[in-house]
Structure 1
Amino acid sequence: MKHSLFRICSLPVILLTLATQLMAQETVPPYLDDNQPIETRIEDALSRMTLKEKIALIHAQSKFSTPGCPRLGIPELWLSDGPHGVRMEFVWDDWNHADWTNDSCTAYPALTCLAATFNPKLAFEYGNAIGQEARYRKKDIILGPGVNIYRTPLSGRNFEYMGEDPYLSSQMVVPYIKGMQQNGVAACMKHFALNNQEKNRDRINVEVSDRALFEIYLPAFKAGVQEGGVWAIMGSYNKYHGQYCSHNERLVNQILKKDWGFDGVMLTDWGSAHDTDEAARYGLDLEMGTWTNGLTWGISSAYDNYYLAQPFLKKIESGELPESLLDEKVRRVLRLCFRTNMNRYRPYGCKLTPEHADIARRVAEEGIVLLKNENHFFPIEKGRYQKIAVIGENAVKQLSQGGGSSELKPQREISPLEGMIEKYGREHIVFTLGYASGEPNYSNELPSGLDADSLVQEAVKVAREADVVLFFGGLNKNFQQDCEGDDRRNMDLPFGQNELIEKLIEANPNTGIILISGNAVSMPWISQIDGLMQSWYLGSQAGTATANVISGEVSPSGKLPFSIPVKLEDNSAHYFGEESYPGVNNTQYYKDDILVGYRWYDTKKIKSRFPFGYGLSYTTFQYGKASTDKKSYQPDETVKLSFTLKNSGKRAGAETVQVYMSQKKPSVLRPVKELKAFKKVCLQPGEEQVVEIEVPVASFAFYDEGIADWKLENDKYMLHVASSSRQIHSTATIEVKNK
């Protein structure tokens, strides 16, 4: 009886609740209604905002956040550095670490390593994993990935980028962006554009031909916008044609937003805005970190005085600038909010999972490049040697630290020495430092405090008594090495490493070298060793991945994403003198034009130490003859290229097959060859596979400055199947005929 009475008495309450809910639904403003189209929500929110609220939305309130619009419930936007992982937390208004205990992350290999995998599927997993950790850390924008072109081996931030080839960068950045953004976290592709050096980065003016701009320096950005659907882009510090890139009329308004249709947010690098009128008129949407060098200093609490803050407000109020300029910026920031922190359906994220560690390890393993392996120096299987000498600071240095804004605070970083001990047993490994650098610093080189001669003497003694020597050297992320803010001084190994290597080889000829860097280095000792690996800043799983490759549990499959020159003067940027690099009177002319990287070496017939796309394996591969589905094509068609690939060795392995294009009789200068496709193929010993690769005919076009557009000529084209830019195995010739 009581139960029935309760049901009757509860009925009015239930009806009242339902009525209240219906009324509430009817009064939800459109901008808060997830069922409304985003553009409708944007216009509704914009119509409700005051002028001051709109101004507040487009500039920072702290080092890494913007204020949102509290009255309307529009949240703050939180940004974090980290193309390779989510950076540690900072205090509100300066560059000091906040020293939280819960802001550690998985450190992923640097983007040079990701590019060296030539594996777009892995790039998607990489981006997704960082997106998951960023989402868990309540970040809305991750300031990465970087896609600037490797033009000189001295550039301090090359390790953050994806190499010298625009096609490779394009193919790797798109899945990275998609992986990250499926978590409701915006990727922020950077640095737009022409940030190809760190020396004088905030003053240098770049003069470059339109052809080089569109063929070499912009394709990865365009792919990120049109194929990746990136939600944010960061401007660079430098100038282009005399105007700063973060508010550059041609780059931002014309190319990025009008021609490419970018609908996201264009934001500054920290300190890259310089003028209110230009920022207002030429496409800058969000101003972060003005009056700072982005590394070590800044003016305190200056946010209301930013170029797009009170100065912009006053110019609107006085009629000097129209409010419509502000409204367009606010629309873009609101669109970003609705995609990220106002998207109620985005996942919650996670961090430091076993899956994240696995991804970091696999990227590291696939990215390590075997450069030399005479007399089967590698792999060093367990039991082959009783005493393995591990020598070199980079075997123990925490390389996720330093480098500038890419610094990370991993929960754990397994060093190469730890990985080797875990793999071979402590009783078989003896370690000594050999050389030493100081702590990471962003403004000068710090001494290590250790006696260099004593370190060398001990290293020689250890080498002499070992069965095999593995030297772990290269660069690190200290000032004027692989570090933001300045470039390297030369191509030599720092801290006396070249001299140390010579002494180690003399003490024990059975010496192999593992270089860890994001840049090419000189190798005066190369003819004296049998084994050489190019490794990278590998992050949390560095030691495990390195030991797996050295021991042979994993066969190396990485390919160089940049060419390694014999000497610095052979590089295209340096060949033409100071006007080409680093510039004279703060202006730099890209005299190498479209001939960057392997395009330069191949066309000018200059021998590189190791060519782009090069990398050995512990097995061997046999290429069959290439053929196409037909011989003649229209511009809108796709060439279907096929050939056989056989693992002719005794180990499982992966080979990255590369397809380069050459034109028979071009009307303009064209490189000897250009990368147009690649595919990573995994094969068991003795396995043979028919490899099929599709190449769009439209990709054969060049940028014609006479018509300011792409041009595809009727001609014969050669498609070269290769294992590097210098190692062609088969060629198929086709003809292109315009209708």
Structure 2
Amino acid sequence: MRKLKIFLLLPALVICFTSVNAQKAIYLDENQPIEKRIEHALSLMTVDEKVALCHAQSTFTSAGVPRLGIPYLKMSDGPHGIRAEGNWDGWKNADWTIDSCLAFPALTCLAATFNPQMSLLYGRSIGEEARYREKNVLLGPGVNIYRTPLNGRNFEYMGEDPFLASIMVVPYITGVQENGVAACLKHYAFNNQEKNRFFVDVDMSDRAMREIYLPAFHAGVTKAKVWSVMGAYNLFRGQYCNQNDLLLNKILKTEWKFDGAVISDWGGVHGSKQAIEHGLDIEMGTGTDGLSSGAKNVYDYYYMANPYKKMLANGEASVATLNDKVRRILRLMYRTSMNNDKPYGSFVSEAHSKAAKQIAEEGIVLLKNQNSILPLNLNGIKKIAVIGENATRSLTIGGGSSGLKVKYEISPLKGIQNRFGSQAQINYQMGYAAGETAYHVNDEFPSKLNADSLRKEAIKLAAESDLVIFVGGLNKNSFQDSEDADRKTMDLPYNQNLLVAEIAKVNKKVVVVLISGNAITMPWLNQASAVVQSWYLGSESGNAIASILSGDVNPSGKLPFTFPKQLSDNGAHSFGEISYPGVNLKQYYKDDILVGYRWHDTKKIAPQFEFGYGLSYTTFSYKDLKVSKTDEKNFTATFTVTNTGKVYGAEVSQLYVKKVGTSIVRAEKELKGFDKIFLKPGESKIVSINIDAEAFRYYNESIKNWDSEKGKYELLIGGSSRQIFLKEAIII
């Protein structure tokens, strides 16, 4: 038997030996610049080998060059954790026993921290997880702008403000790539809804494109030097974004000087000629005219596979264009799969759990706290009712490509029991039950549980209890916070609004914990004692929520997007179907640059909760604003923030810029700086925020470039977009 094993191993040993020898040739002297090594590798490759690099060879890998010892690229969803290993072909999990990951909070939570240090911690931690699992490309982060509260994928992104997203995305990318893993910035661009996402043709003004929807991508490319970018499914001005000449060639590669590889979203390519000529480098996930996964040589039928070779042979495609793609792919490989200096990584470590919990705690937003019911004081509280399916439901699975197979997930109920169980009796009722989602038909079927019975049992428990903690919100089912479908309404599903209102009739102490990545209506807001927006918090969800409820951690998160009172108050929806979701698959962003708080503040429409809003268990005061001119184009604003309360806490000081007497359409104000500071009771700190020339500029369509209005501006300092405490005028 032993001889047989050795005999069977001999071919593999020969291949390995050959690859190692060839690999030495490709690696050259590792002290040589990467560009020199790229050119050497390129010179040794055949046309077939070059083309093979440009398309998938399995569901989540693209080819290497075995003859030359160049390994293939391994990619992984998602931006919140490392996806379970799948089969080579197809979407089913491979049922490994060692691929259960740690779930980090969703990116809405990260944005809500308003803390770039948390973003760096996040990127480093998830990068270490990806590296340990030997992934070369992490398919994230996403920075599409929150335009409508119906977008099913908003939870994966960083909110409505381009400045906030631009600041927060850079450390994330930096942290991931420190591990020799490429971040893949997505979905480039204008993927701001899931409804009709494969076919909707989006258009907008150049000004909206430049001021609102591209800045976070620009920052990821030019400041973080991201190594890969993923295209979006939708069209922009008649061309699919994965093969869009303006977006990929003219803006990304020429104007922004992006030197990495453009990877298509899975199935997002629709033709060979445009994909080849318009800037796509690696084609992934294309359907192949009826050939099912697992069919022999299925990947040879991709638009950038055999058809590409045929076009090259016929002189219909340029070898120079092919070589540019190969250089970009090799550059990505030398940074990742062929990078001998990358660390080993780590997986579901104690340090990562701690990081996930800290990020979650800093991102949770306290929306209401009537009579300071929070943090919970359990004096006289003997019975606590925890009500709501989200208290026990796993929220790391589902939702599309961000769904995870996790090592553990602390539910809100478990976290509450662990923290308060020794002080009070904790009882649980579901109260409502979500339906079952059938992702293959993109629909949700009603739960088989009796909704009336669940509601009555919950109300009975609430009446018998001294305090109610309602844990509800959305989940990852279709038509909620999920890929490939938008929400149908802003209301909470499963009659939760009715349930909360009825609970409040029988118990005056109701703390509502909302889990969602989107704004929701709150008709019961006046009846609730407290409201906590907790996002999708990942593996440490329950522990983080309990930390906030108990006061072990003082909430410091701020809303990264506006909560409208009703859907019609949102700018995208105020112009009818042409603006959302489109008419006959044509859509024009008629809200233009007035997205989110820009719309509400400019149009004087009061939101339910404004951008940048978030309460604390302590209070802060602002004073002594001074603005100095550091040079001809730059200013520095300094002011003093004091913790005037009785507990340690953090405040996000926000700087907005307002043009006084503008001659063009401008938002009432725009975020142009922020700083999160941590203060002991009674402690004061001087905050200094720099404002450069970019803070005052707008995109002038008549000259097709950035421009600025001279004149008077106001620098506004506050705790949210509508809580302005200090202001000073300047002239530029």
1:625 CA drift (Å): 3.0
Letter in 1 for 2:608: R
Equivalent residues of 1:31, 1:44 under 8 A apart: no
Aligned to 1:634: 632
1:82 to 64, 78, 82: 78
Match of 2:154 in 1: 158
Residue in structure 2 matching 1:245, options 241, 250, 268: 241
Q: Corresponding residue for 1:490?
A: 489
Secondary structure, counterpart of 1:564 in structure 2:
coil
- 1:573 counterpart letter in structure 2: A
1:437 alignment partner in structure 2? 434
Question: Structure 2: which amino acid aligns with 1:640?
Answer: T
Instruction: Give the letter for the 1:103 counterpart.
Output: D
Equivalent runs, 1:339-350 vs 2, <5 Å: 339-350=335-346
Answer with 308-317 or 375-384: which moved more. 375-384
Q: Give the SS at the match of 2:207.
A: helix
Task: Look up the match of 2:520.
Answer: 521
- For 1:407-422, list aligned pairs within 5 A: 407-422=403-418
Per the TM alignment, residue 556 of structure 1 is displaced from its structure 2 partner at its CA by 0.4
- TM-score normalised by L of structure 2: 0.95
Residues 507, 28 of structure 1: CA spacing in aligned structure 2 closer, same or farther, 3 A cutoff? closer
- Cα shift at 1:31: 4.1
Matched, 1:121 2:120: no
Pairing 1:94–2:90 present: yes
Alignment of 1:600-619 (within 5 A): 600-619=599-618
Q: 2:194 aligns with which of 185, 198, 223?
A: 198
Identify the residue that residue 545 of structure 1 maps to in structure 2: 544
- Corresponding residue of 2:506: 507
Distance, in Å, in 2 between the alignment partners of 1:693 and 1:561 is 19
Shift of 1:376: 1.0
Secondary structure in 2 aligned to 1:609?
coil
The 1:27–1:188 alpha-carbon spacing in structure 2 relative to 1, beyond 3 Å, is closer
Match of 1:620 in 2: 619
Q: Which residue of 2 aligns with 1:65?
A: 61
For structure 2, the 5+ residue unaligned runs are 1-19
Distance 1:472 1:52 in 2: 56
- Find the counterpart in structure 1 of residue 708 from structure 2: 712
Query: Matches of residues 340-739 of structure 1 in structure 2 within 5 Å?
Result: 340-383=336-379, 385-425=381-421, 428-442=425-439, 443-630=442-629, 634-635=632-633, 638-736=634-732
- Shift of residue 292, structure 1, vs aligned partner: 8.4
Give the 3 Å change call, closer, same or farther, for CA 25–438 of structure 1 in structure 2: closer
Residues of 2 paired with 1:164 and 1:129: CA distance?
25
After TM superposition, the runs of 4+ consecutive aligned structure 1 residues lying more than 3 A away are: 24-28, 297-301, 381-384, 438-441
Shift of 1:527: 1.3
Q: What per-residue deviation string (whole Å, max 9, x for no partner) do you get for residues 642-665 of structure 1?
A: 111110001110000000001123
1:119-160 deviation per Cα after TM superposition (whole angstroms, max 9, x unaligned) = 001100100101001000000000000000000000010000
Cα pair 1:382 1:551 within 8 Å, conserved: no
1:322 equivalent in alignment to 2:318: yes
Contact 2:384 2:425 in 1 (8 A): yes
Q: Secondary structure at the match of 1:608?
A: coil
Distance 2:301 2:263 in 1: 17
Q: Which moved more, 1:117-126 or 1:447-456?
A: 447-456
> What CA distance in whole angstroms lies between the structure 1 residues aligned with 2:668 and 2:188?
28
Q: What is the one-letter code of the residue matched to 1:316?
A: L
Give the superposition deviation at 1:520.
0.3
Q: Could you tell me how far 1:25 is from its partner in structure 2?
A: 11
Deviation at residue 731 of structure 1 after TM alignment = 0.3
CA offsets per residue over residues 31-67 of structure 1, 9 Å max, x none?
4431111111111111100111111111101100112
Deviation (angstroms), 1:699: 2.4
Give a deviation string over 1:213-236, Cα, whole Å, max 9, x none: 000000000000000000000000
In the TM superposition, residue 26 of structure 1 has moved relative to its aligned partner by 13
CA contact (8 A) 1:128 1:179 kept: yes
Find the aligned partners of 2:435 and 2:377 in 1 and give their Cα distance: 34
Question: CA–CA distance in 1 between the matches of 2:294 and 2:568?
Answer: 40
Residue 13 of structure 2 corresponds to none
In structure 1, what is the equivalent of residue 177 of structure 2? 181
Instruction: Give the CA deviation at 1:499.
Output: 1.1
Task: Kindly indicate whether the alpha-carbon contact (under 8 Å) linking 1:65 and 1:78 is maintained by their aligned counterparts in 2.
Answer: yes
276 and 389 in structure 1: CA distance in 2 versus 1, 3 angstrom threshold: same
Task: Note if contact 2:660-2:714 (Cα within 8 Å) is conserved in structure 1.
Answer: yes
In structure 1, stretches of 5+ residues that fail to align are 1-23
Structure-2 change in CA distance of 1:610 and 1:30 (3 Å)? same
| Offset at residue 446 of structure 1 (A) | 3.0
Question: 1:116·1:368 contact (CA, 8 Å) conserved in 2?
Answer: yes
Could you tell me whether the CA contact under 8 Å between 2:23 and 2:68 is conserved in 1? no
Return the alpha-carbon distance in structure 2 between the equivalents of residues 435 and 363 of structure 1. 29
CA distance in 2, matches of 1:164, 1:27: 46
Number of aligned pairs? Answer: 707
- Kept in 2: contact 1:403–1:440 (CA 8 A): no
Q: Which one is further off, 447-456 or 476-485?
A: 447-456
Q: Residues of 2 paired with 1:634 and 1:291: CA distance?
A: 55
CA–CA separation in structure 2 for the residues paired with 1:684 and 1:386: 32
Q: Match for 1:267 among 263, 269, 282?
A: 263
**Whole-angstrom distance in 2 between the partners of 1:625 and 1:82:** 45
Specify the SS of the correspondent of 2:470: strand
Change (3 A) 1:93 1:218: same
For residues 294-309 of structure 1, the aligned pairs below 5 Å read 300=295, 302-309=298-305
Superposed CA deviations along residues 186-236 of structure 1, whole A, max 9, x for unmatched, are: 000000000000000000000110000000000000000000000000000
Q: Deviations over 1:370-399 (max 9, x none)?
A: 001111121113545211110000001110
Q: Distance in 2 between matches of 1:674 and 1:226?
A: 22
TM-score (norm 1): 0.94
Q: In structure 2, how many angstroms separate the alpha carbons of the residues matched to 1:208 and 1:51?
A: 40
- 2:288–2:302 Cα contact (<8 Å) kept: no
Whether the aligned pair in 2 keeps the contact of 1:135 and 1:350 (CA below 8 Å) is yes
Two-structure CA RMSD over aligned residues (Å): 1.6
Partner residue, 2:306: 310
SS at match of 2:303: coil
Q: Deviations over 1:424-473 (max 9, x none)?
A: 11652111110111345431103322111110111011000000111000
C-alpha separation in 1, matches of 2:312 and 2:69: 25
SS in 1 for 2:428: strand
Asked if the contact 1:191/1:234 (under 8 Å) is kept, the reply is yes
Q: Which amino acid in 1 is paired with 2:527?
A: Q
> What CA distance in whole angstroms lies between the structure 2 residues aligned with 1:547 and 1:528?
22
The 1:25–1:327 alpha-carbon spacing in structure 2 relative to 1, beyond 3 Å, is closer
Q: Distance in 2 between matches of 1:349 and 1:595?
A: 43
Percent of aligned positions that are identical:
55
8 Å contact 2:641–2:684 — kept in the other structure?
yes
Quickly say closer, same or farther: Cα 1:26–1:212, change in 2 above 3 A: closer
In 2 relative to 1, CA 725–80 (structure 1 residues): closer, same or farther, beyond 3 Å? Answer: same
**Equivalent in 204, 208, 221 of residue 225 of structure 1:** 221
Contact 1:401 1:440 in 2 (8 A): no
Look up the match of 1:10: none
Q: In 1, distance between residues paired with 2:105 and 2:377?
A: 25
